């Protein structure tokens, strides 16, 4: 049962949580769901609303883990469930098969997107020096010598920073529940 305001003084903790979740994750969540629903904005807004409602009903699910991947997983499950429900009922109106196929995005694409966000959040936790060396060596595919020149540091420093940056990244990912 939702908590009510006491004598009209400010929002309740639940309202504040819901507003904070929507403020921080609403835009990216809506964009993600729009892609899953093939651009059906009304359906996407309903899915975002239901996702936030589930977060409000189960605040314990948000503690001890990154919030955005949980929200994206719930939203994806809602879209998939709605798609399956439509397929299991007799067709009332003509549906464009191409749109339906587009709405049922493969789990691999979704998992890749969630992993990308998780890695980006973990990278953001690293120091600027560690992040820079990983960007040069892994994302830009530069050799140690090229990264050394681009960053203006000795090659030995590039090697050691890469080693320690990878260790820090691994720890940050493990904190988010990503395991090898």
Give me the CATH topology for the region 1-105.
Answer: Rna Polymerase Sigma Factor; Chain: A (1.10.1740)
pTM over 0.75: no
In this predicted structure, what is the pLDDT of residue 136? 92
pLDDT band (50, 70, 90) for residue 128: very high
The tens digit of pLDDT for each residue in 37-57 reads 888 889 899 998 998 888 888
CATH level 2 (architecture), domain 106-180? Orthogonal Bundle (1.10)
Buried b or exposed e, range 153-170, using 16+ CB within 10 angstroms: eeeebbeebbeebbebbe
Buried b or exposed e, range 111-136, using 16+ CB within 10 angstroms: eebbeebbeeebbeebeeebbbbbbb
The tens digit of pLDDT for each residue in 20-34 reads 888 888 888 888 888
Query: Is residue 82 pLDDT above 50, yes or no?
Result: yes
The tens digit of pLDDT for each residue in 93-115 reads 565 655 555 555 555 677 777 78
In this predicted structure, what is the pLDDT of residue 148? 93
Dist CA 127 CA 130 (whole Å): 5
Every domain range in the chain assigned CATH 1.10.1740: 1-105
Tell me the two tokens of residue 167.
Answer: 């260790």
- Secondary structure (3-state) at 10: coil
Every domain range in the chain assigned CATH 1.10.10.10: 106-180
In this predicted structure, what is the pLDDT of residue 21? 80
């Amino acid at each position: 049962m939702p908590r009510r305001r006491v004598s009209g003084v400010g929002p309740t903790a639940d309202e504040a949580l819901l507003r904070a979740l929507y403020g921080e994750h609403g835009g990216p969540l809506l964009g993600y769901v729009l892609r899953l629903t093939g651009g059906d904005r009304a359906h996407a807004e309903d899915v975002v609303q239901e996702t936030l409602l589930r977060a409000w009903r189960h605040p314990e699910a948000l503690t001890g883990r990154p919030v955005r991947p949980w929200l994206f997983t719930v939203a994806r499950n809602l879209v998939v469930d709605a798609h399956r429900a439509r397929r299991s009922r007799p067709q009332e109106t003509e549906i464009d098969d191409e749109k339906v196929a587009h709405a049922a995005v493969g789990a691999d694409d979704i998992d890749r997107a969630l992993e990308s966000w998780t890695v980006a959040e973990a990278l953001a936790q690293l120091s600027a020096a560690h992040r820079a060396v990983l960007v040069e060596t892994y994302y830009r595919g530069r050799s140690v010598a090229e990264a050394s020149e681009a960053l203006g540091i000795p090659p030995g420093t590039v090697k050691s920073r890469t080693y320690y940056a990878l260790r820090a990244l691994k720890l940050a990912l493990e904190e988010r529940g990503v395991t090898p």
